[in-house]
Structure formats: structure tokens, C-alpha cells
Amino acid sequence: MHPRLTRLRAAAAVMLFAGLALLSLREAPPAPPGRDRPTELLAPAASAAGLALQPRPGLDAPALVEALARLGVTARATGGAQDPVQARVPTGEDARSLARRIASSGLAASVEEDGLVTASATPAAPRYESGQRAVFEALRLPAVWSPDGGAGITVAVVDSGVDWDHPALAARIAINLADADFDGRDGDASGCADDIAGCSFVSPDTADPSCGPLFEAPNWRARDDEGHGTFVAGLIAAGGPRAEIAGVAPGARILPVKVLDCTGTGRIAEASAGVRYAARMGAHVINLSFGTRTDSAVLRSAIEEAQRLGSLIVASAGNDGRRGVTYPAVYPGVLSVAASGDTSAGSVDYTRVAPFADFGAGVALLAPGVGLLSTLPPARCGQDNWVCEDGPYARGDGSSFATPIVAAAAALFWSRHLDLPAPFVGRVIASAHRPAPPGEAALLDIALALQARLFEAGLPGTSRAGGASGSGAAPSTGN
Ligand SMILES: [Ca+2]
Ligand SMILES: [Ca+2]
């Protein structure tokens, strides 16, 4: 079998057509500033120390500083007459209120939070330059990447498990201290006994007979005997001093949830149980790099419950190279992702859909899904066409692997706006892309996502912390 086909297997395994589910995501991007308002106002965080202002045409920076002083605002020019001006947020006023005040004065062409671009850092991981730079640059990620990007966010990888001993992942696993006593009981009512680091829902009764030792599900041993889930996890959050690659959101935590067996195949019931568990555990983002061609009331209900509990679901659109996508990617509110990476011109063009990826109006976003470098359990190197490159790292292709890039982008954005509810985060990410042809998805633009214009989009009054939450304790951060 062609290696690529093998890597695509998990996405195809648990695999109808529909193209309407994401309308709700696509219909309401954050509102752009109205044409009648000359000042462009980008959302400042309430806690921002300062604002960055672009002087309006005809007003130079020193004149703007003087005019602001008359409004009681301390400001300084950063350079030349047409360079930006920094305004300090006065004690007793929040950044948003100050931004609105300056915007309504008409003195500035634009007003925004100052400081978003200061987090810039090039990943120092040894294999970044040779193995990842092209992908990061296609995503416009390097300018906003940081080693703690995604901090405070838990991403559930509902997949074949995760190798939690992997040097690039060991420090990135969400640890559940509420049931870490190994007494055989489900002490925190999470639905899984002693689930210190995730849970497996794969049962010996339904797994492929070729799989190794399996335990009665649910079981805390969410180890990865396929490799697919570990590969997904590395793309999201690989990091730490021993990591040789950089995850998109290395500050995020991974919650391993095993629903696919050693052949990358799973059952609807087990996958649905895994989704429900992830949501109960407080996962902000749930990554589903699998799909089925059959609509399922059970799976749909699990997705709805997870959304009710406040999770954002990101799912793979499938790998059949045709128009239309798979379940659960088409369910309402699910962020559906297809792989990009057109190799027809000899080099990889990440702005175009990959030849094997499903596409069409149901796909919210494209993300790179060809030639990706990520983590693999060492025991899987050389097995089933996984080819490791000098250590427990391998290359993979597929919409399965484009999906976690979008999940990680959601983690990066959410990490900066922790009080936003999942549907809002989903709308911001779905609208952060390169220009798209009518009716088609386009490549995710992470820098754009992080500069999203929240102002006027209306910050909802609900929050994850204050809204409905699961009975299970949220995973705490382990080290
Ligand atoms: Ca226990
Ligand atoms: Ca438990």
C-alpha cells in the first residue's frame, strides 16, 4: 500500500454528504468596522496597558499626541510624523473604553491594543528549520508563535491514544489529580476509573484481533498502539526541552482519549463515549481526526452534548478527494477542516487543497496536510508504513493531520481570550483565512486569527467558566 494511503486510514475508517452544517459558522464573522466610521478599531483587551494609534491623514504624530493630551490621555510618538503613537490607559479607565473614546474623537485612523506582535519567537526545536518552517510560514504562524502559546487551554485528542512518554509530549499531557489514586474506582465521577492522563474507550470485544493487550473499557491506559493520535498530539502541542519539533500551540495541554484501535479503526459508540468524556473533563477544544459516511444519532448527540458543555469541536472533512464531507465534520457548529498541499507543480502549494482531501461548501478551512513532521511512539517506527526519521518522529499526510493545526490555532486564540464561549472562538477561527474562491474554503491564517476584530462583534456575556460545566473536574496542569 502507498504510505500515504496508510496514513489516511484512520480518517477513512469510521467514514454522506452534506454541505450546509457550517452555514452558521460562516454567516457571522466578526463584523468589520462600518464604512461610515473613519476610525478602524481593533479589539483591545480590557487589561491592555496601552493602545497603538495610527494618526489620521493630515494629522502628524506630534499633533496627535498634543490633541490626546487635551483629552487627558498620555501618549508618545514612536518615530516619524506618520508612525504610530502609543497611548497609555489611564488609571480608572479600561482599554476598551479608552479605545472607543479615541475612536469617536476622529483623531486616529485606527486604534488597537498595543503589544500583540511582541510574542514573536522562532521555534528553537532542532528540526524546525528543515522540517516545519514551510508549514509554519504558510500559516503565517512564525510572527505570533511563542513557546507558551495556548497556555491554559486543554485540547482533547480523541483518537488512537497518545504516547505520554514521548520526549516531545511528556510535559504536555493534561493530568487529572482528582482521580490519581489507582484504587480501581472512578473517584471523580468522570466516567473512567483512575484516569490520571486520559482514558481508553476501546474494548477488547470490538477491537481488531490483531491488536495487543487491551483492557476492559473505559480504562485509564490511553496508550497509542497505532501512532495516529500521537502524531496528531505532536502537531498541536509538542514542546519542552527534549522536543525536536515545535507544536503550533506548545503551551496547550493534551487530553488523550483512545477510541481507535491499533488498526486506526473505531466504533461509533466508543468514539461517542470518548467525545462525551472529553467534554466532561473540561476540554476546551476536541480534535476529531476521524469520520464516518453514515449519519449517527448517537454521535450527533455526543457532539451536541460536548457543545452544550462548552467545547469547540474541530473535525476532519475526510480524504476521499471529492466534494462533500463526513460526519461528524458536517454537524452544526463543528469546525470542518480539509488538508491543503497541492504538489502538482513539483513543490508543495499549501494555499491549494490537497488532491486526496474532501472539499466543497461544507469545509470551513484548509490547513497544511502534506509532508507534516510530527511525533510517533518509538514502538511504531517502521511498522505499518510509518517511517521514522532518526528518532521517534515521522512524516504524515492527510486531513487527519490538517485538523489538529486548526484545533491548535483555536487554542492560541482562546488562550488570549479565556472568557469567550466556544461558538465565538469557532467563528473567529473560521473567518481567519486567506481570500477564498466563492463557495470554497481557504487556507487558515493564524496571524489574522490572533488579530481578530472582536470589537463590534459583541462580546457575549456568557463564559466557559460561568456557563454550564461538566461534573468531572477539569484536568489540572501537570509537569
Ligand atoms: Ca480512583
Ligand atoms: Ca475518574
d(CA 174, CA 196) in angstroms, rounded, equals 8
**Looking at the predicted structure, is the pLDDT value of residue 474 above 50?**
no
pLDDT of residue 78: 77
Residue at 349: amino acid letter: D
CA of 22 to the centre of ligand 2 (A): 34
Concatenate the DSSP letters of all residues of 116-131 into one string.
GGGG------TTHHHH
pLDDT band with cut points at 50, 70 and 90 for residue 177: very high
User: What are the distances in angstroms from CA 355 to CA 238, 327, 352, 442?
Assistant: 27, 20, 9, 15
- Residue 259, pLDDT score: 94
Q: 17-21, 253-257, 331-335, 443-447 — which is least confidently predicted?
A: 17-21
Query: What spacing in Å lies between the alpha carbon of 412 and ligand 1's midpoint?
Result: 32
Give the number of other Cβ atoms within 10 Å of residue 130's Cβ: 10
The four Cα atoms 128, 134, 135, 137 give a dihedral, to 10 degrees, of 100
**Whole-number mean pLDDT of the chain?**
82
Q: Catalytic one among 228, 272, 296, 320? A: 228
Residue 321: all three cell numbers together: 478527494
The strand pairing partners of 86, in sequence order, are 52, 76
d(CA 198, CA 384): 25
pLDDT tens digits, one per residue of 416-427: 999 899 999 999
C-alpha cell of 394?
A: 515521522
pLDDT digits (tens, 9 = 90+) for 422-441: 999 999 999 999 998 887 88
Confidence band of 9 (pLDDT split at 50, 70, 90) = very low
Strand partners, 108: 55
Closest CA to 403 of 246, 276, 288, 238: 288
Q: What pLDDT band is residue 463 in, cutting at 50, 70 and 90?
A: very low
Least confident span in 100-109, 156-165, 393-402:
100-109
Give the pLDDT band (50/70/90) at residue 304: very high
CB 149 within 8 A of CB 249: yes
Whole-number pLDDT of residue 25: 26
pLDDT at residue 207 above 70? yes
Ligand 2 centre to CA of 199 (Å) is 9
Are residues 254 and 172 in contact, defined by beta-carbon separation less than 8 angstroms? Answer: yes
Task: Give the pLDDT of residue 335.
Answer: 97
* DSSP per position, 219-259: BS----SSSHHHHHHHHHH--STT-SS--SSTTSEEEEEE-
Q: What pLDDT does residue 479 have? A: 31
Q: Quick one: pLDDT at residue 454?
A: 57
Choosing from 114, 159, 188, 261, the catalytic residue is 159
357 in Cβ contact with 317 (< 8 Å):
yes
Ligand in nearest proximity to the CA of 220: 2
> What are 172's three cell numbers?
504536555
DSSP label at residue 294: S
CA distance 65 to 78: 11
pLDDT in tens, 275-287: 999 999 999 999 9
The amino acid sitting at 141 is L
By the 8 A CB rule, do 63 and 16 touch?
Answer: no
Q: What pLDDT is recorded for position 459?
A: 45
Q: Distance (Å, rounded) from C-alpha 453 to C-alpha 413?
A: 12
Which tens digit of pLDDT belongs to each residue from 354-374?
988 877 768 899 999 999 999
What is the structure's pLDDT at 385?
85
Per annotation, catalytic residue among 190, 272, 316, 400: 400
- Tell me the pLDDT tens digit for each residue of 83-126: 888 888 888 888 888 888 888 888 988 887 765 433 335 677 88
Strands (E), 290-403: 312-316, 335-342, 349-353, 365-368, 372-375, 393-396
Q: In this structure, are residues 373 and 362 in contact, taking their beta carbons and an 8 Å threshold?
A: no
Please give the average per-residue pLDDT across 340-351, as a whole number.
92
Ligand closest in space to the Cα of 185: 1
- For 120, half-sphere exposure in the C-beta direction (CA atoms, 13 angstrom radius) is 8
Q: Residues of CATH 3.30.70 domain(s) within the chain?
A: 49-114
- Rounded to whole angstroms, the Cα distance separating 192 from 189 reads 7
Helix ranges (H only) for 17-60 are 23-27
Nearest to 277 by CA among 335, 197, 343, 342: 197
| 181-185, 302-306, 409-413, 447-451: segment of lowest average pLDDT | 447-451
CB neighbours (10 Å) of residue 467? 14
Distance of CA 189 from the midpoint of ligand 1 (Å): 9
**CATH number of the domain at 49-114, please?**
3.30.70
Which option is the CATH number for 3-30+121-477: 3.30.70.141, 3.90.1150.10, 3.40.50.150, 3.40.50.200?
3.40.50.200
Would residue 159 show up in a list of annotated catalytic residues for this protein? yes
Sort 152 into a burial class: Cβ within 10 Å, 0-12 / 13-18 / 19+.
middle
Residue 70, pLDDT > 80, answer yes
Q: Which residues pair with 122 in a beta bridge?
A: none
Q: 128 CA distance to ligand 2 centroid (A)?
A: 37
pLDDT above 50 for 413: yes
Q: What is the mean pLDDT of residues 171-197?
A: 96
Report residue 314 as a C-alpha cell.
474541530
pLDDT confidence tier of residue 160, bands split at 50, 70 and 90: very high
Query: Is it the case that residue 477 has pLDDT exceeding 80?
Result: no
Q: What is the pLDDT of residue 41?
A: 53
The reported pLDDT for the residue numbered 461 is 37
> Which phi and psi (to 5°) does residue 303 adopt?
-60, -45
Q: Which residue has the higher pLDDT, 2 or 196?
A: 196
Q: Does residue 31 surpass a pLDDT of 80?
A: no
Please tell me the number of the ligand nearest to residue 473's CA.
Answer: 2
Q: What is the pLDDT of residues 265-274, one digit of tens each?
A: 898 999 999 9
Terminal C-alpha separation, the chain: 40
Q: Residue 64 pLDDT more than 60?
A: yes
Amino acid occupying residue 279: A
CA of 328 to the centre of ligand 1 (A): 32
Question: Which has the higher per-residue pLDDT, 31 or 431?
Answer: 431
Among all bound ligands, the one having the nearest atom to the CA of 183 is 1
Whether the CB-CB separation of 193 and 248 falls below 8 Å is answered with no
Q: At what angle do helices 297-308 and 268-280 cross, to 10 degrees?
A: 10
pLDDT at 51: 83
Ligand 2 center from residue 184 Cα (angstroms) = 9
- What ligand is nearest to the CA atom of residue 182? 1
pLDDT of 53 > 80? The answer is: yes
Which runs of E-coded beta strand occur in 297-408?
312-316, 335-342, 349-353, 365-368, 372-375, 393-396
Higher pLDDT among residues 473 and 447, named by residue: 447
Q: How far apart are CA 144 and CA 408, in angstroms?
A: 13
Rounded distance, CA 474 to CA 9, Å? 32
CA of 170 to the centre of ligand 2 (A): 21
All CATH 3.40.50.200 domain ranges of the chain, comma separated, are 3-30+121-477
Report the percentage of the chain scoring pLDDT > 90: 59
Q: Are 391 and 377 in contact (CB under 8 A)?
A: no
Q: How confident is residue 309, by pLDDT bands cut at 50, 70 and 90?
A: very high
Q: Which amino acid is located at 402 in the chain?
A: A
Q: Beta strands 365-368 and 335-342: pairing type? A: parallel
pLDDT in tens, 217-263: 999 999 999 999 999 999 999 999 999 999 999 999 999 999 999 99
Taking alpha carbons only, the member of 316, 222, 233 closest to residue 15 is 316
